[in-house]
Structure 1
Amino acid sequence: MQNPNLNPSATSPELPPIPRQQLHDTVVDHLRRFIVEGALEAGRKLNERELCETLGISRTPLREALKVLASEGLIEISPNRGASVSKMSEAELRETFELMSGLEAFSGELACERITAAEIAEIKALHYAMLACRAQNDLAGYYSRNQAIHDKINEAARNSALRQTYIAVNRRLQALRFRSNFETAKWDRAIHEHGEMLAALDARDGKRLAAILRQHLLAKRDAVLRIGDTPSVQDTGN
């Protein structure tokens, strides 16, 4: 059963005041984070008054932010029913993870051809920070660094068309990627796979990195499906 009260503080740190000049982008970022970390569950109808009070804003910037998130596929807006967090069917989940596994694999292959030593050093620093978060059981901190690693590999591919597609597809999967680490064994296995990714990057072994990334994403898909009662996946009745 969904909690009728929004309580982002349960999964997110206290929000700082929002500078007026950065209001639009900051509201979008906060709402996206609420969705990813589960403070706003998939399928939940959004209460504008409640969100405005939580964020300390008026309805105009909130509605503008909701339109941005709707364009990203994270929010559904109905003329007569208002806004709700998007929910993926099992078929959509399977297909989108399959697509993402291909995008990640291609990113890795190109990155091994084009990445610089400085970029690899940045990824290694993120990896060690990610390990520290795992040791502290800090899932939110772990996830942000995990995603930064994947993002930097994609950036290192230096392919703008791939970059745009990657960002669009990944936004739809972020909440599910976050939830895939709810299984402790899956979380620890993912860390091992990240170590293998670093080794492949160091060796500039594009085929190896592509294979690791493809399997890494498909393992996330399988973990989400095993959870079974996740609110991020719609029961199709099949």
Structure 2
Amino acid sequence: MQNSDIDAGLTPPPLMPKVERQRLHDTVVEHIRRFIVEGVLEPGKKLNERELCETLGISRTPLREALKVLAAEGLIDIEPNRGASVSKMDEAELRETFELMSGLEAFSGELAAERMTAVELTEIKALHYAMLACRAQNDLAGYYSRNQAIHDKINEAARNSALRQTYIAVNRRLQALRFRSNFQIPKWDSAIHDHDEMLKALEARDGKRLSAILRQHLLDKRDAVLQVQSREDAAAAKLKA
């Protein structure tokens, strides 16, 4: 018993500094990711490390570690001697990535309608009504977070780990663009209608119907994003002229 007590006393202390550092790392990554998604940091924008450090209240070391993670996710471009900038997809890449995502979402819906539990369906309903409340208040950020939670839960309910990993990787690259697809009120309201239909299909366990809705929902987002990007590119070109 004494030996056991002695051994216990010699056990190294908990690795709290590493835990805290990991929390800081995750927090910095999440903050910058949100800045990108919500358009605070726009596509193509060169990042000012000093300003970001001041905004987040951190040193350059955790910032640079976070930027490496975001670069691996395809959200940040890092060029030697030129620093980091927010990634910007060209039209062809945007079209192809949304087409891929439409397929992933469609497959998720088909499987989820079959495999989703009653508890998961209840959670999605709650998110749906919270999302509608945000729309009524013109709270785009709140709407978007609940919107994405719904799509994420549908993907999780598909219970396919390979699909899950691919979905997460592709969706990270599209989150900022999906956010931008609701800048136009008619497009935003059209997305709300799609979500109403998604919920009906889930309640009916109609996988084919849900799959078709999700596929078109993503292709409509692609078209909305292309319209926004086209106008912005035209405005930028006009300023340069």
Q: TM-score, normalised by structure 2?
A: 0.87
**Greater Rg over alpha carbons, structure:** 2
| 2:231 aligned counterpart, secondary structure | coil
Q: 1 CA distance for matches of 2:214 and 2:180?
A: 18
Q: Alpha-carbon deviation of 1:225? A: 1.1
Q: State the distance in 2 between where 1:165 and 1:171 align.
A: 10
Deviations 1:182-217 (A, max 9, x none): 010010011011010001001110000000000000
Please give the secondary structure, in 2, of the residue aligned with 1:181. coil
Indicate the percent of aligned positions where both proteins have the same amino acid: 84
Q: Report the counterpart of residue 93 of structure 1 in structure 2.
A: 94
The structural deviation recorded for 1:21 is 5.4
Q: What is aligned with 1:208? A: 209
CA RMSD in angstroms comes to: 1.4
Hey, what does 2:231 align to over in structure 1? Answer: 229
Could you give the per-residue CA deviations for residues 131-176 of structure 1, whole angstroms, max 9, x where no partner exists? 0000000000000000000000000000000000000000100010
Q: Are the aligned partners of 1:224 and 1:230 in contact in 2 as well (CA < 8 Å)?
A: no
Give the Cα separation in 2 of the matches to 1:173 and 1:135. Answer: 25
**1:49 & 1:183 partners in 2: Cα distance?**
34
Per the TM alignment, residue 229 of structure 1 is displaced from its structure 2 partner at its CA by 3.0
- Name the structure 2 match of 1:48: 49
Determine which structure has greater relative contact order: mean sequence separation of CA pairs < 8 Å that are 6+ residues apart, divided by chain length: 1
Greater than 2 Å deviation, 4+ residue runs: none
Q: Is the 8 A contact 1:97 1:218 kept in 2?
A: yes
Letter in 1 for 2:213: I
| Matched residue, 1:68 | 69
Structure 2: gaps (5+ residues): 1-19
Q: Which runs of 5+ in 1 are unaligned?
A: 1-18
Letter in 2 for 1:220: K
The CA deviation at 1:80 is 1.5
Structure-to-structure mapping, 1:68-217, within 5 angstroms:
68-217=69-218
